[in-house]
Copies of this chain bind each other. A is one copy, B any other.
Amino acid sequence: MENLLQFIKDNMDMIYLIVLMIFVGIELISHVPSVLHTPLMSGANAIHGVVVIGSIIVMGQAENNISLILGFLAVVLGTINVVGGFVVTDRMLEMFKKKK
């Protein structure tokens, strides 16, 4: 119990950040028209591609071949997620624009 409290105290800022982010995420979505669900999902998909930063960090500290190979793979996959995600979202949204 004391351990837990200490852990919570030490990570208080993180916890506030997480709690607030959850509120923000929920509020942002709750008033969205259903036509936009698919582009929104796709945009969110691109955003979680931010995980590629983790793979860059890990790759930049890799020392042996296995790490290098796995890291390279991770960077490639993460980048596909990011770039593909944003581009495909843009393509979807392009179709929504008002045409005369």
Interface residues of A (CB under 8 A from B): 13, 16-17, 20-21, 23-24, 27-28, 31
Shortest Cβ distance from A27 into B: residue? B27
List 16 A-B residue pairs with CB atoms under 8 Å apart, sorted by A's residue number: A13-B13, A13-B16, A13-B17, A16-B17, A17-B17, A17-B20, A20-B20, A20-B21, A20-B24, A23-B24, A23-B27, A24-B24, A24-B27, A27-B27, A27-B28, A31-B31
The 6 closest A-B pairs by CB, nearest first: A27-B27, A13-B13, A20-B20, A23-B24, A31-B31, A16-B17
Residues of B within 8 A of A20 (CB): 17, 20-21, 24
Number of copies: 2
Residues of B within 8 A of A24 (CB): 20, 23-24, 27
Shortest Cβ distance from A17 into B: residue? B16
